Amino acid sequence: MESKSSVIKEVRKILDKNLELRGLRKTPERYAIINEIYSYNHHFDADELYNRMIKKNYRVSKATIYNTLDLLVNIDLVSRHIFKDNLAKYEKSFGFKQHDHIILDNDEILEFCDPRIQLIKNSVEEMFDVEIKDHSLYFFGTKKKK
């Protein structure tokens, strides 16, 4: 099992490489933000991230938060979900098994992973002659009371 600090080290390296490749600047904000994100478990939104960083006396602007989230989503270090209407939620995505979500009535979020989704993907690719790069699957439900 990999230690926590080795994950973030690895992630910073990936970010590094991507910034170089794209000719983007290695600003301290970008590293601070990825650090912060990888210290979380599970989901957060832009406002949450912003507020937590401000509370730690790290000076960032909303603009930078949004810019950086876009960047990180593009290079696949962070993934974006829209669980409820009109609010983007994010979560770290490197080194974590890809998974889908169950959204319960009480806003609880469960995660699962089912290999059959890959089979559906394959069928779809063949049927429509398309190349699928990503998917999102949500189930909506309620906890069964016993």
Partner DNA sequence: ATGGATGCAAACTGTTTGCACTACT
Partner DNA sequence: AGTAGTGCAAACAGTTTGCATCCAT
Binding residues for a copy of itself (CB under 8 A): 80, 82, 85-86, 88, 102, 104, 110, 112, 114, 116-117, 119-121, 123-125, 127-144, 146
110 binds, among DNA, a copy of itself, none (CB under 5 to 8 A by kind): a copy of itself
Neighbour-count burial of 1, counting CB atoms closer than 10 A to its CB (0-12 exposed, 13-18 middle, 19+ buried): exposed
Least separation in angstroms between residue 123's CB and DNA is 31
Candidate residues 66, 83, 99, 109; the one interacting with DNA per rule CB under 7 A? 66
Q: Is the CB of 24 or the CB of 110 nearer to DNA?
A: 24
Least separation in angstroms between residue 77's CB and a copy of itself is 18
Distance of CA 108 to the CA centre of its chain: 17
Exposure string for 84-100, b = 16+ CB within 10 A, e = fewer: eeeeebbbbbbeeeeeb
Least separation in angstroms between residue 126's CB and DNA is 33
Candidate residues 7, 14, 19, 73; the one interacting with DNA per rule CB under 7 A? 19
What does the alpha-carbon distance between residue 46 and residue 63 come to, in Å, rounded to a whole number? 10
- Cα dihedral: 113, 78, 47, 142 (round 10): -10
User: Position 57: which residue type?
Assistant: N
Candidate residues 17, 70, 95, 132; the one interacting with DNA per rule CB under 7 A? 70
H helix or E strand, kind and range, residue 79:
strand 78-81
Given the rule CB under 7 A, which residues bind DNA?
Answer: 19, 24-30, 45-47, 59-64, 66-68, 70, 85-88
